[in-house]
């Protein structure tokens, strides 16, 4: 997910995230996990995900540990 610079701070990213989480819940998913960058440029994205309840986790799927990646997960109730 990426929000263009001129749209950041408008709530668009949060709206997109909440929509995607609602779709996941409707489909019966029990967990959503994501990978994002660990560099400073990705700090706003990591804050957005933390505010939504995501917590750090290890790599999942085919991902390998990387200093450039931050892995996060959210249990859907």
Which pLDDT value is given to residue 61? 94
- pLDDT (tens digit, 9 = 90+) per residue, 49-70? 999 999 999 999 999 999 999 9
Q: What is the pLDDT of residues 23-49, one digit of tens each?
A: 999 999 999 999 999 999 999 999 999
Q: CA-based angle 55:52:56, to the nearest 5?
A: 10
- What is the model's pLDDT at position 3? 80
Q: How high is the pLDDT of residue 38?
A: 97
Query: Is the overall model pTM greater than 0.75, yes or no?
Result: yes
Nearest to 34 by CA among 8, 11, 66, 61: 61
Strands 69-75 and 55-56: antiparallel
Do the bridges between strand 31-37 and strand 55-56 make them parallel or antiparallel, or are there none, so unpaired?
unpaired
Tokens 């749209």 identify what position?
A: 7
């Amino acid at each position: 997910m990426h929000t263009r610079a001129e749209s950041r701070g408008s709530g668009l990213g949060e709206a997109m995230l909440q929509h995607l989480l609602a779709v996941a819940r409707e489909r019966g998913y029990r967990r959503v996990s994501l990978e994002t960058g660990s560099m400073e440029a990705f700090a706003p994205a990591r804050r957005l995900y933390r505010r939504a309840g995501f917590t750090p986790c290890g790599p999942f799927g085919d991902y390998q540990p990387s200093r450039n990646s931050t892995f996060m997960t959210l249990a859907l109730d």
